[in-house]
Chain A
Amino acid sequence: MFKTFRPGGIHPSENKLTAGSTIEELPVPEQVSIPLNQHIGAAPKVLVERGDQVKVGQLIARGEGFISANIHSSVSGKVLKIAAVVDMSGYKRNAISIKVDGDEWVEEIDRSPELITEIALERQEIVQKINQSGIVGMGGATFPSHVKLSLPRGMKVKYLIVNGAECEPYLTSDHILMMEKADQILVGATIIMKALDVEKAFIGIENNKPDAIDHMSDRAQHYPGIEIQGLRVKYPQGGEKQLIKALINREVPSGGLPIDVGAVVFNVGTLFATYQAIQKNKPLFERVVTSTGKNLEKPGNFMVRIGTPISALIEACGGLPENTGKIISGGTMMGKALNSLEVPVIKGTSGLLVLPEAESRRKEMQHCIRCSKCITVCPMGLEPYLLMAFGERELFERMEEEKATDCMECGSCNYICPANRHLLDYIRLGKVEINKIRRLRKN
């Protein structure tokens, strides 16, 4: 029996072109730029200077404050400069540029391939180690993982929810990770279960990946308390709240966190990184990235060092096609269009998508015909048409009353709108403005 969430949801074309391709090691580029703002929260403090020699896995920036994350060098070489480069945000922000010289790793990292299932560390030590290793949510939200593990007093977690849904079109990095690193992911889950002191973990996988469901179920028998649950394909199943709804049928209250219903959600990629950090002493400096697009010569899944410019990824796929119109970090639904080929891969980059010109422009916007399809597909039960109308008129307080802040920007409304209206654009604007208003109110 496959579960799913209600209400809302859509079925965009999946286009999982790279579902069958194994993880390929991307050659280390000549130069990397490691952005400082790779996660939600405060920018970390830079620990290196221009001209310093660094090794792979060396700490180069330390997290400042509670919600922040450490950053490690992904290459060995010389620090060229600490300057602003264009990153995912579309703006120039500070990054540490390193000129690569050889591939010398920090000695403590265990580079042997064998699986270690015995967990030697205690609860507090696990959280500490995850903090030190700079692990953030790798599904795209990039929320520092140690924060999720540091529960407020009195809060008790019942379930660990693991996101293997990968509902985003085109992307296959989680899929391939589950196929190739199933044991590591399961050990990672066990580690997190120990850290959170929970007995039960659910791993949700959409049924467009039957091989992953079979393989993971097969391996999970060896790990007590972990259950694999197939999910009926529906976007945005990988959304935190939707996944919880689908797996344990609970609704995270408006404005609340998964912990409010006794759940903590981790992505499979994050669990793999956790495994490497705890068992192999390897901080987060590389990740699996799906590099895909219908017109790419050889799309594939690559293990990429953080800071690698996306141009290197595209090169590995056979170069940029002539008719490229848009380059997206992520998938078609929630991905971010990039304005430069030099944007570096960061901890949250799950995929790189090259769209041809024909698919990169929006269709002409028309009047709202009030068909209510946006309401039907909204997984949060909002009224996007109304929010857009308020957004256009700058009635942000009305938007707040209509719960615009519950929107998780999945884009289902924009996708379905027959009049091609820019619903999400205005909702997003409203969310930003509402937050401004709220800050003003506090002061």
Chain B
Amino acid sequence: MGLLTISPSPHDHSSESVPKLMYGVIIALLPAFLASVYFFGISTVIITVTAMVSCVIFEFLIQRYLMKEKPAISNGSAMVTGMLLAFCLPTNLPIWLVILGSFVAISVGKMSFGGLGNNPFNPALVGRVFLFISFPVQLTSWPEPGVNHFAYLDASTGATPLSIMKEGLKNRESISHILLDIPFYQDMFMGNMGGSAGEIAAAALLIGFAYLLIRKIITWHIPVSILLTVTIFTGIMWLIGPTSNPNPLFHLLSGGLMLGAIFMATDYVTSPMNIKGMWIYGVGIGIITVVIRIFGAYPEGVQFAILIMNAVTPIINKYVKPRRFGEEVSNG
């Protein structure tokens, strides 16, 4: 028998660990990945693997040689960042851009703040927004779904429902007319539409959401508050002007809303820590998203909305506190 160990209580620990949570997120992303492979073929695999591998390599190099600490790449957080980054890129994006995006995501978005746990912004979104602003042309030409499964760069390009809608409304076409160019709702739900790699299939993303909830990796509050806000806000707009505004269902199924609400906004590090705060954050993202989509210059606003609310998160954490036990006593 060795020496007796002395440590403060508790003397038991749950089986929870950071790698387990991270790999859980990756598993939850797999349905969306498979759906994307189904519609875009080999190109999805190329950009996803590229992004994941380069994120891991960049994180390793930065931790090893710049920060001079023990690399913690095995915790899987870099892989999640890579996967999420790839999921919000068009699948026909050149590899060097994917690598550049990964570099910005890891170096600027994450490691410059001190690594996992310290970054104020979602790293994948930092990478994505960097690419989007620097290379708008490449980032806004999406491949047509289900056309050629073995084409990568030379795939024929199309548009997303959101950009079709924005373009149409700009040209003062009527909603019913624009909708003719847009896939049916059931197609949108299943993912048969133009868009970034992982954002197209709402059904697959919802399966991932269910998995996250069952594994208790996230709580339902942030995704539900975002989706609910978008539904209500766009619903009001739709009721006010049904001819100039698409209905809420269109907004829910199009663009990166599902991906953003379920996987991006719920990033542990950059989202508020308690339930009240999560509601504020979710409602904020919902409102900003709709404002950008309806009134802004860009057809899509989820990533900007999330980044803006990321910036607000520290303030929410500071001023919105969980209800303390025995605080407002209503005993009677």
Interface string of A334-351 (1 = CB under 8 A from B): 111111000000000000
Give the secondary structure class of B's interface. Answer: loop
Q: Which residue of B lies closest to A416 (CB)?
A: B14
Q: What's the minimum C-beta distance from B207 to chain A, rounded to whole angstroms?
A: 22
- Contact pick for B4, options A337, A378, A379, CB 8 Å: A337
A-contacting residues of B (Cβ < 8 Å)? Answer: 1-2, 4-14, 16-18, 20-21, 72, 75, 77, 115-118, 219, 268-269, 271-274, 321-327, 329, 331
Known contacts A322-B1, A325-B4, A403-B324; A334 and B16 CB within 8 A of each other: no
Output the least CB separation between B7 and chain A (Å).
Answer: 6
Q: Could you say which of B2, B10, B329 contacts A332, with CB atoms under 8 Å apart?
A: B10
Min Cβ gap A355→B in Å is 6
Q: Are A367 and B118 also in contact (CB < 8 A) when A251-B331, A337-B7, A361-B5 are?
A: yes
**Main SS class of interface, A:** loop
- Give 1 or 0 for each of A357-369: 1 = CB within 8 Å of chain B CB: 1011111001111
Our pick among A252, A378, A409, A417 for the contact of B326 (Cβ within 8 Å) is A252
Task: Provide 10 A-B residue pairs closer than 8 Å at the C-beta atoms, listed in order of the A residue.
Answer: A12-B12, A251-B325, A332-B10, A355-B11, A360-B7, A372-B268, A414-B10, A418-B18, A420-B17, A424-B9
A416–B324 Cα gap in the complex (Å)?
Answer: 19
Say how far B22's CB is from chain A's closest CB, in angstroms. Answer: 9
Interface size bracket, A side = 35 or more
Give which listed residue, A355, A363, A383, A415, contacts B322 with CB less than 8 A.
A383
State in angstroms the CA–CA spacing of A54 and B323 once bound together. 54
A27 close to chain B: CB less than 8 A: no
> Contact between A382 and B324 (Cβ–Cβ < 8 Å)?
yes
* Closest Cβ–Cβ distance, residue A186 to chain B (whole Å): 27
**CB-CB < 8 A to B2: which residues of A?**
325, 357
Check B325 against A7 for contact (C-beta < 8 Å). yes
Residues from chain A with Cβ under 8 Å of B268 in the complex: 369-372
Q: What 0/1 readout, one digit per residue, does chain A (416-443) give for beta carbons within 8 Å of chain B?
A: 1111101011001000000000000000
> Of the candidates A13, A327, A376, A418, which one forms a contact with B21 in the assembled complex, judged by CB atoms under 8 Å apart?
A418
Are B273 and A372 interface neighbours, CB within 8 A?
Answer: yes
Check A241 against B325 for contact (C-beta < 8 Å).
yes
Determine the chain B residues whose CB is within 8 A of the CB of A361 once the complex forms. Answer: 5, 7
Instruction: Find residues 304-327 in chain A having any chain B CB closer than 8 Å to their own CB.
Output: 320, 322-327
Is residue A176 within 8 Å, beta carbon to beta carbon, of the partner chain?
no
A375, B13: Cβ atoms under 8 Å?
no
Which A residues, 247 to 261, have Cβ-Cβ distances below 8 Å to chain B? 250-254, 256, 261
The answer to whether B321 and A383 touch across the interface, beta carbons within 8 angstroms, is yes
Which B residue sits closest to A419, measured CB to CB? B18
B74 to A: closest C-beta gap in Å: 11
CB distance from A92 to the nearest CB of B (A): 15
What is the minimal beta-carbon distance from A392 to any residue of chain B, in angstroms? 14
Residue in A closest to B114 when the chains form the complex, CB atoms: A367
Structural contact, A418 and B17, CB atoms closer than 8 A: yes
Tell me whether A335 and B11 are in contact (CB under 8 A): yes
Instruction: Establish whether residues B72 and A251, one from each chain, have CB atoms under 8 Å apart when the complex forms.
Output: no
A373 interface hit (Cβ, 8 Å):
yes
Q: Is the CB of B4 within 8 A of A254?
A: no
